[in-house]
């Protein structure tokens, strides 16, 4: 990769994939999503409808393409756990897996 390509790519790194938790139900619900805005702003927006949501984990900064790819990977792998939209009923092991992958992706 040339220096110019690196600088261009770095300038396009504005997205993150995140894992949020909503403990209102007997079985925990997790949201796997992506955002191009600051993650805490996204948390505030989601709290309008889900007051007990907390951020569990997030990636470092990524390009939109890479963030979409990672989010899609999780949605495909965990499709059997989907309860609607980007919300999933995950086991503790599944949530830990997602969080571990998130922690290791993107630029910190």
HEC profile for the chain?
CCHHHHHHHHHCEEEEEEEEEECCCCCCEEEEEEECCCHHHHHHHHHCCCCCEEEEEECCEEEHHHHHHHHHHHHHHCHHHEEECCEECCCHHHHHHHHHHHHCCCEC
Using only C-alpha atoms, what is the Rg of the chain? 14
pTM for the model? 0.86
Q: What is the pLDDT of residue 12?
A: 73
**pLDDT-derived band at 2, boundaries 50, 70, 90:** low
pLDDT higher than 90, residue 106: no
106 token code pair: 């993107």
Q: Chain-wide mean pLDDT for the chain?
A: 88
User: Taking residues 20-36, what's their average pLDDT?
Assistant: 86
Tens digits of residue pLDDT in 37-60: 999 999 999 999 888 899 999 999
- Beta-carbon neighbour count of residue 107 at 10 Å? 11
pLDDT higher than 80, residue 72: yes
């Amino acid at each position: 990769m040339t220096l110019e390509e690196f600088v261009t790519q770095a300038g396009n790194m504005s997205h993150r994939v995140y894992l949020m938790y909503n403990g209102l139900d007997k079985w925990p619900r997790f949201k796997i999503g992506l955002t191009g805005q600051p993650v805490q702003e996204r948390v505030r927006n989601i709290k309008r409808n889900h007051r007990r949501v907390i951020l569990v984990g997030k990636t470092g900064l990524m390009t939109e393409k890479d963030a979409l790819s990672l989010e899609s990977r999780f949605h495909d792998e965990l499709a059997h756990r989907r309860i609607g939209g980007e919300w999933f009923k995950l086991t503790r092991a599944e949530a830990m897996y997602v969080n571990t992958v998130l922690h290791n992706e993107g630029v910190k």
